Structure 1
């Protein structure tokens, strides 16, 4: 039920942002639509298909090994898309705030679409080794069923390198870029704010500054999205590092082991990171809230107009 609600909220965010009536630039809208789409795919593939349907219907079509491998491949790819679309959005905000001369060339709808397409292609290619991570769990009537970790592959040097590469690509590198871009952005904002206050103080202007107000709203949106990602992915990041360094990633069925609890908690919080963006938009963007109200009222307005037309015909 919660997955359905989260999917519905992501669908509403996609519809509202795609209409382009939230007062946001086309460049920002492209990134936000991409982020909402990736979050929707995470809820559908990772949560509904993998964690719910595959688990509760173990002998269904989803349990065929080729289908199971494809679901695991898509689950990894959708997580990567969600992460790197958010990084792309953060970098775009960094450019538009810190490099005023370069923003007219980079912060465009065409560039945003190109960046999203390039990351999508790169992630699709990067995750191809995922098909070698798993092997059939059993063979029934000459059919391969289920997926289990390919221990021979994971114990090989190439398999270990793939695991570390996936962790660095999905968590450590995005974390580093988030902190770097946000730190540089804060520094640019503080410098610009001080210079602008001095300039307005010398000119004797006391009225509100529209430019600083728009910049403040952009920063609130940027930091809330980046901050929620960092907080929700921090547990998975730390648990992966500690279990790998201490070699405690084998729980032998003990669900009370601290390493198991930390890993599963981290996985749960990773999936939760696909949920709060719609709430962030609603809290930080007034026009988004207005469009959301219109979207929710539209079915009732349609029903009301249809009922009036029926009464008139009668």
Structure 2
């Protein structure tokens, strides 16, 4: 364990050595990011450095490094834009769902509101307070003097866990509603949804308190899986390494598997039930009329599969990289993932927090109507003020 986690002649952990190894002749990225020879404003200095690194020796760089530098440049625009879109979109979604005029059951509305709230908190705590300062580090150097990184880590991991596990609980709720008709009336209620969501929140908070002791209060301000400096005893501790690995198994690996299994069982039940229903209706009415029950079920299925499929697609790369990092730190060095996988995983994972509003708008007619009314409302107020 010590041999893998520490390299004597470099005096840095092995994982840091690989993450910082690049094929151009400089010591670190920080040297380029802090170059002051250009006559450009401080705001653009980091961006200009990334652009220069993208073009310097472009022809002889491998594809993986071209992608890495291209993603670095993209992040300067992507993260602020994502924050500018994600905060109002999720806020509007919470307002619309809270009014209860979308034609959804109270149980489903409760789950969707919880998911939107968790996504909004992830955007604020993870995207705005972590990733944007990391990209624009020249403007956020003061963050290094704030001794709150371990508290930040606890909050970030808690809201991320809630965002993921709320998706799992919603998927399970729809599985019960579709596949277990006898239990539907008892389980698929607003009260049950409230209890389940509250339990998930409490358990996530208790689990993630351990991050307070794993990390120190000092920020790294670098785009790495661990954005805080670790406590001195962590790198050599197999116990803490196992606890950290367990965290990443519980999120996102276990939710990933559960969502896949629940959707597989749901699809199987739907196919069997649909065939039986078509045979019954075909023998009684010739199959010429539309089935309202099947139409209603079809809309519910589309909503479920879009939400869970969106999670699986956008979290897949994030999950792959984090499992790779934990396996590497435990001494399993059988394969190597390109560095751009990490950046792309972060970007897609954060995008998943901004897409559910679009999914609701596409699948729910009444939600679209409410969304139009919310968008029109400020303009209506302006017109009224002008007329007065």
Shorter-chain TM-score tier: 0.7 to 0.9
Equivalent in the alignment of 1:143: none
The reply on whether 1:265 has 2:344 as its aligned counterpart is yes
Q: Equivalent residue for 1:47?
A: 127
Mapped to 1, the partners of 2:239 and 2:204 lie a distance apart of 19
2:85 is matched with 5
1:177 to 258, 280, 283: 258
Compared with structure 1, are the counterparts of its residues 64 and 27 closer, same or farther at alpha carbon in structure 2 (3 Å cutoff)?
same
Tell me what 2:141 maps to.
58
**How do residues 213-228 of structure 1 correspond to structure 2 at under 5 angstroms?**
213-228=295-310
Q: 1:248: Cα distance to partner? A: 9.8
The CA distance in 2 between the partners of 1:234 and 1:280, in whole Å, is 19
Q: Structure 1 residues 64 and 121, CA, compared in 2 at 3 Å: closer, same or farther?
A: same
Please tell me whether the aligned partners of residues 235 and 265 of structure 1 are also in contact (alpha carbons under 8 angstroms).
yes
User: How big is the shift at 1:303?
Assistant: 2.1
**Is contact 1:248–1:259 with CA below 8 Å preserved after alignment?**
no
Aligned positions of 1:1-314 closer than 5 A: 1-2=80-81, 3-53=83-133, 55=137, 56-60=139-143, 63-65=145-147, 67-137=148-218, 147-204=228-285, 205-246=287-328, 258-308=337-387, 310=388
Q: TM-score, normalised by structure 1?
A: 0.88
Shift of 1:247: 5.0
| Unmatched tracts of structure 1, length 5 or more | 139-145, 250-256
Query: What CA RMSD, in Å, does the superposition of the two structures yield over aligned residues?
Result: 2.0
Structure 2: how far apart are the matches of 1:199 and 1:221?
27
Deviation at 1:136, TM superposition (A): 4.8
Deviation at 1:273, TM superposition (A): 1.3
1:171 and 1:276 mapped to 2: Cα distance?
18
SS at match of 2:290: coil
Could you tell me how far apart the structure 1 residues matched to 2:328 and 2:245 are?
Answer: 15
1:243 shift after superposition: 3.8
Secondary structure of the residue that 2:141 maps to in structure 1?
coil
Distance 1:281 1:148 in 2: 39
Cα displacement (A) at 1:84: 0.3
Between the two proteins, the alignment pairs up a number of residues equal to: 293
Higher helix content, 1 or 2: 1
- Could you report, residue by residue, the CA deviation over 1:120-160 in whole angstroms, capped at 9, with x for unpaired residues? 1111111011001212549xxxxxxx941225224312211
Partner of 2:70: none
Q: Distance in 2 between matches of 1:264 and 1:160?
A: 23
* 279 and 63 in structure 1: CA distance in 2 versus 1, 3 angstrom threshold: farther
Question: What CA distance in whole angstroms lies between the structure 1 residues aligned with 2:145 and 2:249?
Answer: 30
Q: Measured at CA, do residues 137 and 105 of structure 1 come closer, stay the same or move farther in structure 2, by a change above 3 Å?
A: closer
Could you say if the C-alpha distance between residues 148 and 246 of structure 1 is closer, same or farther in structure 2, counting changes exceeding 3 Å? closer
265-274 vs 29-38, which moves further: 265-274
- TM superposition score normalised by structure 2: 0.72
SS in 2 for 1:148: strand
Q: 1:126 & 1:243 partners in 2: Cα distance?
A: 20
Structure-2 separation of matches of 1:29 and 1:23:
9
